[in-house]
Structure formats: C-alpha cells, structure tokens
C-alpha cells in the first residue's frame, strides 16, 4: 500500500522489540525504527502506550498498537507475504497457546533463574528447568515450533533461540546442557542459521557486551 507510515518504537537489545522487527522484515514492510531510551522515555512513547509505557509500540498511519504478540498478529493480518500464523483455526490456536506459554511461563522463569540471588537460585533454577523440559518435549522431532519453517511461535521464541544463550554467556553460567536438552540445543543452532531470522538479530558480541555491562551495573550498585 502506497503512502503508508509505519514507525516502531523499540530498543535494539530487547527481544520483544526484535520480535516485531522480525515480523515486519518477514513481510517486507518499510518502517522507521525509533530507538527509545528506556531510562528517559519519549513523549511519543508515553502518549502511544499510556497504559504500560513500554516498548515495542507499532504506529501504523498514526494508530498505535502495543504488546509484541498483539503487534505480530496485527502485522500478519495487515500485510500479505510470509504467513506468520497458520490459516487453520486449530493450528492458530496451538500457535497462540505456545506463544502465550513462552511469554507467561518461560521467559519469566528463565529470566529469574539467570538474575536471581544465591538464596533464590535453587528454586528458580528448578522452575526454569521445568519449563525447558516442556519446550524440549514440544521440539522433539521438529526443527522449529512451526515445523520445517518458522511461524509466530518461533518469532516469539527469540529469547529461547538467541537471548538465553547470550545472557548466560554474559553471566558466565549454563543452565541447560546439551545432553539433557538435545532438542533445545538443536533449536538454538537452527535458529541462528535460519535465513528468516539470523539477519534480523542484533550482533552477538554487542548483545553480550550489553548484558555484561548490566551485570557490572547490578553488582556495583
């Protein structure tokens, strides 16, 4: 569609922001990326997402949409091209189920396990391993959550496919080894090789550096 204005308020190191960029690029949508300073949020961000005051926010012809998974479905509905969600209602429901599971259970559990104090470690690591076992089971005999090609779940799983490894490297930890989680490790390998994804990921060195700086900031505060 000609004369379309698409802006994305995001942050380069955020997996949530990156998901939306991935979806836009898959569809070949031209957009303006506006990097937000999360310590000093812009009036545009606060006005576009007054409820959560968070990135990412997609602004399409002046109309804002917030929440990364909502934005991804919007992108899929609005622009033709790569099918991010399946057409069949049952397969769509399955994809939404897993995307929800990733956001509501996996990411919080993995994040907590990475960043918690020593006292909380045992409980948090156990919870993280629990969700990873569920993912391991789902990924058995599959290259991606979407099967042979990526779908919305894989876009949503960028934390699993990429950020998780980066954060662990920055922290000098390893929560899930390849022997116990072969399918998951295979997924992470395939993820960064997938042409629909690898070009849209932030550079690994830069991202590791970002999280290392965050570790230092946390330990010195």
Partner 1 sequence: MAEEVKLFKTWSSPYGLRAVWALKLKGIEYESIDEDHDNKSPQLLQYNPVHKKIPVLIHNGKPVAESLVIVEYIDETWKQNPILPQDPYECATACFWAKFGDEKVLPSIWRVFIQEGKAQEELLGQAMENLKFLEEQLEGKVFFGGEKIGLVDIALGWIANLTCMLEEISGLKLITQEKFPLLFGWMQNFVCTVFVCLNPKPTERPRQLGGLQALDY
Q: Select the residue interacting with partner 1 from 27, 41, 53, 92 (CB under 8 A).
A: 92
| By the rule CB under 8 A, 97 interacts with partner 1 | yes
**CB environment 50-72: b (16+ within 10 A), e (fewer):** eeeebbbbbbbeeebbbbbbebb
Nearest distance in Å: CB 138, partner 1: 8
Q: What are phi and psi of 32, to 5 degrees?
A: -100, 125
Taking CB under 8 A as the binding criterion, the range among 12-20, 33-41, 69-77, 169-177 that sits at the site for partner 1 is: 69-77
SS (H, E, C) 72-110: HHHHHHHCCCCCCCCCCHHHHHHHHHHHHHHHHHHHHHH
> Which residues sit opposite 60 in a β-bridge?
6, 63
Site for partner 1 in 115-154 (CB under 8 A): 134
Nearest distance in Å: CB 140, partner 1: 14
Quickly list H helices, the chain: 15-26, 43-48, 68-78, 89-101, 107-115, 118-139, 152-156, 158, 164-171, 182-193, 195-198, 204-220
Q: Select the residue interacting with partner 1 from 21, 73, 136, 154 (CB under 8 A).
A: 73
Q: Select the residue interacting with partner 1 from 6, 34, 35, 78 (CB under 8 A).
A: 78
Q: Report the residue number, 43 or 89, with the smaller CB distance to partner 1.
A: 89
> Which residues sit opposite 10 in a β-bridge?
35
User: What is the distance between the alpha carbons of residues 178 and 182, in angstroms, rounded to a whole number?
Assistant: 5
| By the rule CB under 8 A, 38 interacts with partner 1 | no
Q: What angle do CA 101, 24, 170 make, to 5 degrees?
A: 60
19: Cβ contacts below 8 Å, ≥ 6 apart: 56, 68, 69, 72, 155, 156, 158
Nearest distance in Å: CB 118, partner 1: 28
| By the rule CB under 8 A, 172 interacts with partner 1 | no
Nearest distance in Å: CB 120, partner 1: 21
Nearest distance in Å: CB 29, partner 1: 13
Taking CB under 8 A as the binding criterion, the range among 94-102, 111-119, 183-191, 194-202 that sits at the site for partner 1 is: 94-102
Q: Select the residue interacting with partner 1 from 18, 45, 66, 207 (CB under 8 A).
A: 66
Q: Which residues bind partner 1 (CB under 8 A)?
A: 51, 60, 63, 65-67, 70-71, 73-74, 77-78, 89-90, 92-94, 96-97, 100-101, 134
């Amino acid at each position: 569609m000609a004369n379309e204005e698409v802006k994305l308020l995001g942050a380069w190191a955020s997996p949530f922001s990156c998901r939306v960029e991935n979806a836009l690029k898959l569809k070949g949508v031209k957009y303006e990326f506006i990097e937000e300073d999360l310590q000093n949020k812009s009036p545009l961000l606060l006005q576009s997402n007054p409820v959560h005051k968070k990135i990412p926010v997609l602004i399409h012809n002046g109309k804002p949409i917030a929440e990364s998974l909502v934005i991804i479905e919007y992108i899929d509905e609005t622009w033709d091209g790569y099918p991010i969600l399946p057409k069949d209602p049952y397969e769509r429901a399955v994809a939404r189920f897993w995307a929800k599971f990733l956001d509501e259970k996996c990411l919080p559990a993995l994040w907590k396990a990475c960043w918690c104090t020593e006292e909380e470690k045992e409980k948090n690591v156990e919870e993280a391993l629990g969700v990873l076992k569920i993912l391991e089971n789902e990924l058995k005999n599959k290259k991606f959550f979407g099967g042979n090609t990526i779908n919305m779940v894989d876009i949503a799983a960028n934390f699993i496919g990429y950020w998780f490894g980066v954060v662990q490297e920055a922290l000098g930890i390893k929560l899930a080894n390849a022997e116990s989680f072969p399918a998951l490790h295979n997924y992470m390998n395939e993820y960064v090789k997938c042409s629909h994804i690898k070009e849209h990921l932030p550079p690994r060195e830069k991202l590791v550096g970002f999280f290392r700086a965050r570790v230092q900031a946390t330990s010195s505060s």
